[in-house]
Each structure stands twice: as structure tokens, then as C-alpha cells.
């Protein structure tokens, strides 16, 4: 959830998958390529992008590319923080490969709460990098319970 004019904006699981992907992708991406990477139908993706655009989280040029807005970057860096802390958790607790941890983390990031992430950090401490060697984004203050 994000706060906008004192109103909470709900972001669906599928929209979170898109935001997490866009943060890790860094640069603008064509809608066709995004569709292939996420393996979703064009019509489904279009309506999800429209929702994200209405929430001012992405810039979307029709028939062109999609990229995060400043607000979108802030929100998605929080998601990617969750993603990478979950990778760490999976590797540490289940002793699975980094690649497998990445795949599973992609599946569970959209449903993991800040509270869950908070407990993982309490147990394993703050890390600079995830098991793949990518930076774990820091956020202002701590991962807030109910903040996402």
C-alpha cells in the first residue's frame, strides 16, 4: 500500500510483479518485451499497465516503452528490497541454489508483508547484497509494517 493524499492506494499482486521486474530491469522496456518476460497475455498486461499509470507509478508511451516514475522507483525499490531479502532467507534456511532462490523469491515477493521481511532482517541482520551479489536497496526508516 502507498499513501497518497491520505488515501491508501491498493496495488494488486500482478502489478507488484511488474514493478519488481521494472526496478531490476532499470531502463525503459517495450511492452512486447515486457509481455514476453512476464509471460502474460497482451490484454491482461495492458490493463495492469493502465492501472499503474493511473496510480502515477509508471510512464507509458502507447506503442512505445514503459518506465518507472520517481514514485514508481521508490515503491519498486522497496519491493526489490523484499525480493532480495527473501532470496537471502531462502538460501540461508533451505540451502537451495541462488538461481532457484531467485525464481521462488519472484513468486513470493508480491505476497510477502513488511512484517515478514522485518522478522527475517531481525534474524539474519541487514545485508548489503543478496546471494546473487546484487545490492539490497535501503529504504528510509525500517521496512514498515503494513507499508507495502
Q: Which residues bind Zn ion (CB under 5 A)?
A: 87, 114, 117, 130, 132, 134, 143, 148
Which residue, 31 or 120, has its beta carbon nearer to Zn ion? Answer: 120
Smallest gap, in angstroms, from Cβ of residue 32 to Zn ion?
A: 26
Which residue, 19 or 114, has its beta carbon nearer to Zn ion? Answer: 114
Q: What does DSSP assign to residue 62?
A: T
Smallest gap, in angstroms, from Cβ of residue 107 to Zn ion?
A: 14
Cα dihedral sign, 27-30-36-41: positive
Smallest gap, in angstroms, from Cβ of residue 25 to Zn ion?
A: 14
CB 14 within 8 A of CB 7: no
Smallest gap, in angstroms, from Cβ of residue 139 to Zn ion?
A: 7
Which residue, 54 or 100, has its beta carbon nearer to Zn ion? Answer: 100
Q: What does DSSP assign to residue 67?
A: E
CB neighbourhood size of 22 (10 A): 24
Q: What does DSSP assign to residue 27?
A: S
For residue 114, give every residue at least 6 positions away whose Cβ sits within 8 Å of its Cβ, in sequence order, or none.
82, 143, 144, 145, 146, 147, 148
Which residue, 65 or 134, has its beta carbon nearer to Zn ion? Answer: 134
Amino acid at each position: 500500500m502507498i499513501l497518497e493524499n491520505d488515501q491508501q492506494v491498493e496495488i494488486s499482486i500482478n502489478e507488484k510483479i511488474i514493478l519488481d521486474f521494472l526496478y531490476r530491469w532499470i531502463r525503459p522496456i517495450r511492452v512486447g518485451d515486457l509481455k514476453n518476460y512476464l509471460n502474460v497475455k497482451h490484454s491482461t498486461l495492458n490493463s495492469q499497465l493502465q492501472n499503474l499509470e493511473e496510480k502515477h507509478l509508471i510512464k507509458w508511451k502507447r506503442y512505445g516503452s514503459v518506465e518507472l516514475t520517481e514514485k514508481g522507483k521508490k515503491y519498486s525499490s522497496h519491493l526489490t528490497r523484499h525480493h532480495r531479502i527473501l532470496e537471502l532467507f531462502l538460501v540461508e534456511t533451505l540451502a537451495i541454489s541462488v538461481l532457484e532462490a531467485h525464481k521462488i523469491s519472484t513468486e513470493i515477493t508480491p505476497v510477502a508483508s513488511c512484517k515478514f521481511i522485518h522478522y527475517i532482517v531481525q534474524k539474519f541482520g541487514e545485508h548489503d547484497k543478496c546471494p546473487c551479489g546484487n545490492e539490497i536497496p535501503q529504504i528510509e526508516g525500517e521496512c514498515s509494517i503494513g507499508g507495502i
